[in-house]
Structure 1
Amino acid sequence: MGRQLLIGIDVGSSGVRVELYDEEGNLIAVGRSSIARQDVKEWIEALRKAMPHIVKECMDCEKHVSIDSTSGTFIAIDKHGEALYGPVMYYEKKIEVFEGVKNLPEIRELAKRGITTDAASPYIKILYMKRTLKELYNNVYKFVPAATWLLYKLCYPKGEEWSDVKTDYTNALKFGLDITTTPPTWFKPLFDALEIDLDKLPGLAPSGEFICKAKSELAEELGLKNASVYQGMTDGNAAALAGGALDKGDVNIYTGSTTVPKVSVDKIVIHPALYYHIHPLNGYLAGSATGFTGAYLSWFAEKVLGLTIEEALRYAEVVEAGTEYLFFPYGDRGPFYDSSLTPALVNIVMYEQPREVVIGRVLRSIVLGIALLENSYLRLFEKTFNMRIADVNLTGGGSRSRFWNRLRASIYEKRVVIHGDLVGVGTVIPVIYRSGLYTRITEIKQRFLRPVDLIEPDRELVNIYKQFKEDFENKWMKLRELYKG
């Protein structure tokens, strides 16, 4: 047997990142390439550019590859895997279609099973296609998630018919998966009610299940010919695993353009602010995805103040703790799913201070509001699952600021564990587990998860922000009532 090479590929909306690990959990190489526009050819080209040279050069390596991508993004393909339509991105909405079906009993029943429907749900957009692009819809062989399409592009040579196409449970979730059954199945009553052909959806499989030995021309170009290809997952789940949410009670918050809090649990407790994934290893991942958080901070800093995000955080850091205004982020996704709930800054008081201090106070208020939103989910997790969270694992670009993480630890009143922004390791963890390379979760954590920082709460800041926490949740609910009025 040659050297083992574990390849985790993360295909996001702005770029592709490829991470290479050996069987001991050592990071061997990382490759990156940006995506200029959402086009399947652009994705493939970015994948070519991002693939580290060692993948081709290691001729005797036994290669194992899996892919994660954005949750809810899909492509309509023909029988040879060629894209007929799409990609249809996760953020695209069909509001009129949603408004027409949102009160169907089948949609309410699916919500009871942990899956919330909104205007961006894939089956809403598939229904739109059936109604307005009938000929195209009729010619579709399968609607497949982005990660699934890319994985099968490694399997089949050009022109060969794709057979037995499956997607993993995490990618299937937003397409109408019933995770309350064993094994999970498509929620047939929903598709019957919407008159969507269920045979146009792929089969189902767990993350990390073997798919094929790569034999396509693309695989050969990438240095992946004869590599073992495995079912992938959504980027949010990959980030959660890469950020330590492997065992019951583990919590991860991905903080980037949006905020994605997740907790590993062994049961489903229905709550309107939560949805569930099948955990790629055991049990479930309960969590949510908020509206824009980090993206709003970046937008405000750059477009309103002409600052980079790094400059904005430096302005915020020097402001006296406790003098912030109260900032409320978007509520169009979790926890409220209310499109009328746009960001707001309240409790604004004029201070006779230099301009840079006032600017810093506004920016620090936004930073604080995002941390308070994160904390509201931690409180929800503890209450819903009758648990006590000791550590909070953080991943994503928003976890790079030590100032912000110190603020977080003090608001959470919990230790914060920083895992950086590499999510590809999360993609390969189910491969490691299901292949039997390592079967104990504790050993996988020790070898493959290597935190870059640990931050304890600051007792002085804990006391300062206690009242902010109560005000945030109470006033956000009142703000929602105001918007509705």
Structure 2
Amino acid sequence: MFLGIDVGTSCVKAVVTGDDGAVLAQASSDLTVSRPHPLWSEQAPADWVSAANKAVLALDPAMRGAVSAIGLAGQMHGATLLGSDDRPLRPAILWNDGRSFAQCAELEALEPRSREITGNIAMPGFTAPKLAWVRAHEPDVFAATRTVLLPKDYVRLALTGEKASDMSDSAGTLWLDVEARAWSGAMLAASGLYESHMPRLYEGPEVTGVLREDVARSWGMARVPVVAGAGDNAAGALGVGVLADGQGMLSLGTSGVIFVATDRFRPNPGQAVHAFCHALPGLWHQMSVHLSAASCIDWAARACNVPGPAEFFALAEQAGVASGGELFLPYLSGERTPHNDPHIRAAFLGLGNESTTPRLAAAVLEGVAFAHADGIDALRAAGTRIEELCVIGGGSRSAHWGRILASVLGVRLVYLHGGEVGPALGAARLAQMAATAASAEAVCTRPPVRAVIEPDPELAARLAPKRDRFRAAYRALASIKE
């Protein structure tokens, strides 16, 4: 058996898979996000370790004892700053933190080849601008920093004592030469850092260490190997068999991602399209990223006093598609693709006396779909052909939302058994590759299809006027933001 651990934003998930790749068990432990100031988003690194421990210990002890390798996946970009004693110097600054916007321009000015080296626009979500912010605003913390780790790699340090990372997650720091798959001395120098501040780099299925004796004893396991793993999106893609050029995935988790695998490095930062390493050697990928997706469902359900996402989806379906003039702009934490705008915030527009909770729910689903349509347009402008996307994440549970998304995006959506498991499944698959020496093609197969949703031209036509209003609303909202 193989264990995948995904260090997410809202929870840490642990998944056990068998030799045939089937998910045998899963458990999770919740996390909270601290937002002490506008634009800030932080977590305590110790909480990741505690939640990982709780999630693993919630699994059946017999299954834990049969695990032969562990893979890690996690939220990308988080800046975890460690001192000389390997303890965190401050809370980790997360992927959806927008405070370092000014430092992005400074970083690109210090290294004019930044976009060429990294394949990406410098955005506040990336790790390097966060360190530039710490350098400017918390100079004592910056001076004391000896190591910078990503969230899952801090958990790795706790589990194994090793400082290591994988290519896909490290590509999101802005310190990686993404084509060469190596740390960039020039980008590190622009940040006032050295390669000694960085963990050692590995490809996704490579072994980075073994469980510490005390952890293995607590978990009821042997001292099994822990592989490099992947950033959450690359791991999620492997979980649904997206590993060949042109294959794609739509992830509807806290954030929303359209992910397309490529067999070469294909940057197009002018469109705010990300170009990162995939979790396997010799592969890369392009992504459009939306900072709020299923998180909009959770937020709106709370705001509307609806018990949970399932009930919220049901209300939206009750209202029907394009049933009213209500419009929702889903920018709870700003936006990346295509706007690169950390300051924009969400809004409801077009409310009237006739507005109801079901119609608000319908507007939320439509608004997230429109944001993803902006993202897929940016990918297509970058020369990427997309005809089909596998759907993963919590949002994959709603077929009604799928019909809206397929029609607005103009692509076929494929729903797979186990697709809602997400990145933890891909992490377990990387562990299986390490433990068995099996190929990616043999291990990272597409799970069985449970449903296919084709674009509905009539639905797309009904939604087209609202999408036009959505685009105009972003421009108007951007003109009056604080």
TM-score interval, smaller chain? 0.7 to 0.9
How far is 1:227 from its partner?
0.4
TM-score, normalised relative to structure 2: 0.84
168-177 or 108-117, larger mean C-alpha shift: 108-117
Matched residue SS, 2:421: coil
Residue 159 of structure 1 aligns with which residue? Answer: none
1:172 maps to which of 124, 147, 170: 170
Contact 1:263–1:285, Cα closer than 8 Å, also in 2: yes
Residue 273 of structure 2 aligns with which residue? Answer: 274
Which consecutive unaligned segments of at least 5 residues does structure 2 have? 34-42
Separation in structure 2 between the aligned mates of residue 392 and residue 239 of structure 1, nearest angstrom: 13
How far is 1:418 from its partner?
2.1
Contact 2:69–2:432, Cα closer than 8 Å, also in 1: no
Q: Which amino acid aligns with 1:28?
A: L
Q: Which amino acid aligns with 2:197?
A: K
Q: Which amino acid aligns with 2:166?
A: D
Q: Which amino acid aligns with 1:239?
A: G
Residue 22 and residue 304 in structure 1: after superposition, are their counterparts in 2 closer, same or farther (change >3 A)?
closer
334-343 or 471-480, larger mean C-alpha shift: 471-480
Separation in structure 1 between the aligned mates of residue 64 and residue 466 of structure 2, nearest angstrom: 58
Residue 7 of structure 2 aligns with which residue? Answer: 11
Residue 56 and residue 141 in structure 1: after superposition, are their counterparts in 2 closer, same or farther (change >3 A)?
farther
Contact 2:16–2:428, Cα closer than 8 Å, also in 1: no
Residue 63 of structure 1 aligns with which residue? Answer: 68
Separation in structure 1 between the aligned mates of residue 101 and residue 387 of structure 2, nearest angstrom: 44
Residue 42 of structure 1 aligns with which residue? Answer: 47
> How many residue pairs get matched?
464
Q: Which amino acid aligns with 1:76?
A: L
Q: Name which one, 1 or 2, has greater alpha-carbon Rg.
A: 1
Separation in structure 2 between the aligned mates of residue 58 and residue 49 of structure 1, nearest angstrom: 15
Matched residue SS, 2:91: strand
Residue 427 and residue 324 in structure 1: after superposition, are their counterparts in 2 closer, same or farther (change >3 A)?
farther
1:338 paired with 2:341, answer: yes
Separation in structure 1 between the aligned mates of residue 108 and residue 7 of structure 2, nearest angstrom: 34
Q: Residues 212-231 of structure 1 correspond to what in structure 2 (within 5 A)?
A: 212-231=209-228
Deviations 1:191-218, CA, capped at 9 Å, x for gaps: 3233223321122221121112323312
1:197 paired with 2:194, answer: yes
How far is 1:54 from its partner?
6.4
Residue 330 of structure 2 aligns with which residue? Answer: 329
Deviations 1:293-315, CA, capped at 9 Å, x for gaps: 33234323422565643333222
Matched residue SS, 2:439: coil
Q: Residues 73-92 of structure 1 correspond to what in structure 2 (within 5 A)?
A: 73-78=78-83, 81-92=86-97
Q: Residues 248-263 of structure 1 correspond to what in structure 2 (within 5 A)?
A: 248-263=245-260
Separation in structure 2 between the aligned mates of residue 71 and residue 166 of structure 1, nearest angstrom: 14
Residue 107 and residue 93 in structure 1: after superposition, are their counterparts in 2 closer, same or farther (change >3 A)?
farther
How far is 1:263 from its partner?
0.8
How far is 1:399 from its partner?
1.8
Contact 1:18–1:52, Cα closer than 8 Å, also in 2: no
Separation in structure 1 between the aligned mates of residue 425 and residue 170 of structure 2, nearest angstrom: 21
Kindly, what percent of the aligned residue pairs are identical? 19
Matched residue SS, 1:292: coil
Residue 243 and residue 473 in structure 1: after superposition, are their counterparts in 2 closer, same or farther (change >3 A)?
farther
CA RMSD of aligned residues (A): 3.2
1:319 paired with 2:319, answer: yes
Residue 135 and residue 338 in structure 1: after superposition, are their counterparts in 2 closer, same or farther (change >3 A)?
closer
Q: Residues 367-406 of structure 1 correspond to what in structure 2 (within 5 A)?
A: 367-387=365-385, 389-406=386-403
Residue 212 and residue 300 in structure 1: after superposition, are their counterparts in 2 closer, same or farther (change >3 A)?
closer
1:411 paired with 2:412, answer: no
Which consecutive unaligned segments of at least 5 residues does structure 1 have? 157-161
Separation in structure 2 between the aligned mates of residue 455 and residue 339 of structure 1, nearest angstrom: 33
